[in-house]
Structure 1
């Protein structure tokens, strides 16, 4: 392998790691926000908000790394993806702003009606952000038309049935992560409710992902060949089955974090299968990593930056989780709430 090819692959790995980190960390926060919107009890909603309030902003750092990394490492892919996904990207960023405002300002009022409205905005922001991310992912997998480095589609490819289905799958998956998070961080009635939600959402996510897998197999011959290969199907199926069984068994353990760990493993597996499906493409159907890569000098410089930023970001995330670890207790609220 040539040194230049190795640098491109390292750049792709750094970008994929940033995206995966964002999905696992902020996806869990978005899932909590989705569940909050369907929770009637003000005490429980407050506990849910407190559980993610100290860490949600650090989790979004990975989104910045991923977006900035795509522009610097693979500018041709960025030039095609951005106009193709203008609407879902803009909607996602606006939704994340709404989510942030709702989290930070919900305790600046004692009016229960206003606070309930703020929590509804939090849910809407989380739903829209998760849905837009799923639609963007589905659009990428189904392929984006381009010519000579320019996007040639209509900009509405993200409204296709496949892309919208991916949006729904990711919303349900994020809600599953959120329920597992709340099971870990809560106790008493809220923990038991979160347990039932996690179990229900696990089954729903599993069924939806299986349907998505068969749908993806039918989209392109190369997709079917890669995903049905024994070297992929065997390990992936075994990992999924073991993680699924471990998820249900983990509720009998004293370690409340285990259901979340099992869910995260399944998310990592799904992300890995997506990478295997499209590799070495970065924008299907025909733009490869090597064609979209920036100069060797630019990628080397960016990789050095990633090597510095990633450990710092992970340390910050880990430190935040450590400082604010432990169970969250629903506070007492006024009867009017």
Structure 2
């Protein structure tokens, strides 16, 4: 609470802006990555064409959010950026390389022969899975803590390589695949939709189990996290979180059972929104656990004000563009109704 009192509204607004950029990236490009991860179980070339076509008009625009988040982190929280990049550069570079692979695969497969498409599909699967896994490792490493002193990273290049971070990588890859399968339920029909429905139920179950394991594991990482969910909230926060997750799971299963097209995706997206909220609640007011708070990691107020002024224009513009793209390419995607290459 004392740290919150000494945190300026500019720093809180900056942190909120970065959190929003991360959330939008996870919801949008996380879904696209999930579609790529699902290539592991889809052997039908026609189905793979349709799967790619569902994300073809929007995937590159969805990546805008990671650029916005990364740029905002450099400008508004430079000590955090410096320590995070130093601690996690193998993971960050692997993630960026994987995103490049994914983009190259999407671009080149449309012009490839049938045999070459199979190779590009393998690249698509590899890039999507690697990117999803690396992002989960980043989140896990952030939560378990990055050792710093006076804003400088004090660990080695492989300190992130721990069981918790690696499990978070697997959990997020499963979660993205769940988003991708739920997306395909909404955007496709016929046999592909039925396969997506079955996959979504299985992946949703795996994601729920992974979320429970990560949550319990997090409470045992350090006393501060456990206190945030018990003493600081009067013992209310943890039961409320369990109730919300259980309600979302029930709503998702109901949507699957009633063969709804859009409801499973809605509940999956809300699940991720609430999961991110729980992560932020756990570490707040820290921005880089275990020692750097939002106030300590902030850039000068004038810098934050300048950057926030720019994002106040960029964020609505990106939202309008994304909404317009989704509206233009709305509806079911079939082999007879495909977006322009």
TM range, smaller chain: over 0.9
Q: 1:245 aligns to what?
A: 250
The counterpart of 1:322, out of the listed 310, 313, 327, is 327
Match of 1:287 in 2: 292
Give the Cα–Cα distance (whole angstroms) in 2 for the partners of residues 293 and 223 of structure 1: 22
Q: Distance in 2 between matches of 1:279 and 1:4?
A: 12
Match of 2:186 among 177, 184, 187: 184
Residue number in structure 1 paired with 2:229: 227
Q: Which residue of 2 aligns with 1:198?
A: 200
Q: Answer yes or no: is 1:124 the counterpart of 2:129.
A: no
Partner of 2:32: 29
Residue correspondence of structure 1 range 40-189 to structure 2 within 5 A = 40-110=43-113, 112-189=114-191
Instruction: Tell me the distance in 2 between the aligned counterparts of 1:145 and 1:278.
Output: 15
User: How far, CA to CA, are the matches of 1:185 and 1:96 in structure 2?
Assistant: 23
* Structure 1 residue matching 2:239: 3-state secondary structure: helix
- Give the ranges of 4+ consecutive aligned residues of structure 1 lying more than 4 Å apart after TM superposition: 1-4, 252-255
Instruction: Check 1:233–1:108 CA distance in 2 against 1; reply closer, same or farther (3 A cut).
Output: same
Deviation at 1:258, TM superposition (A): 1.1
Deviations 1:44-77 (A, max 9, x none): 0000000001000010000001000001000111
Q: Give me the whole-angstrom Cα distance separating, in 2, the residues matched to 1:254 and 1:120.
A: 31
Range with greater deviation from structure 2 (181-190 or 146-155): 146-155
On the 8 A contact 2:105/2:120 being kept in 1, the answer is yes
Residue aligning to 1:300: 305
Higher deviation after alignment, 226-235 or 36-45: 226-235
Q: CA deviation at 1:159?
A: 1.3
TM-score normalised by L of structure 2: 0.94
Aligned mates of 2:91, 2:6 — CA distance in 1: 36
CA–CA separation in structure 2 for the residues paired with 1:167 and 1:254: 30
CA drift at 1:240: 1.2
SS at match of 1:156: coil
Shift of 1:255: 4.9
Cα deviation for residue 194 of structure 1 reads 0.2
Deviation at 1:158, TM superposition (A): 2.1
- Contact 2:7 2:294 (C-alpha < 8 Å) held by counterparts: no
Aligned residues: 331
Per-residue CA distance 1:54-103 (angstroms, 9 max, x = gap): 00001000000100000100011111001111011111111101100111
What CA deviation, in whole Å up to 9, does each residue of 1:141-177 have, x standing for no partner?
A: 1111111221111121221111100000000000000
C-alpha contact (below 8 Å) 1:37/1:119 kept by paired residues:
no
Q: What do the CA deviations read for 1:86-137 (whole angstroms, capped 9, x no partner)? A: 0111111111011001111112122x22111100100000011011101111
Q: TM-score, normalised by structure 1?
A: 0.95
Q: Shift in Å at residue 5 of structure 1?
A: 0.8
Quick one: distance in 1 between partners of 2:49 and 2:312? 38
- Separation of aligned partners in 2, 1:227 and 1:270: 14
Change (3 A) 1:159 1:2: closer
Q: Report deviation, 1:3.
A: 9.8
Q: Per-residue deviation at 1:235?
A: 2.8
The structural deviation recorded for 1:253 is 5.0
Gaps of 5+ in 2: none
CA distance in 1: counterparts of 2:152 and 2:65, whole angstroms? 27
Moved more, 124-133 or 154-163: 154-163
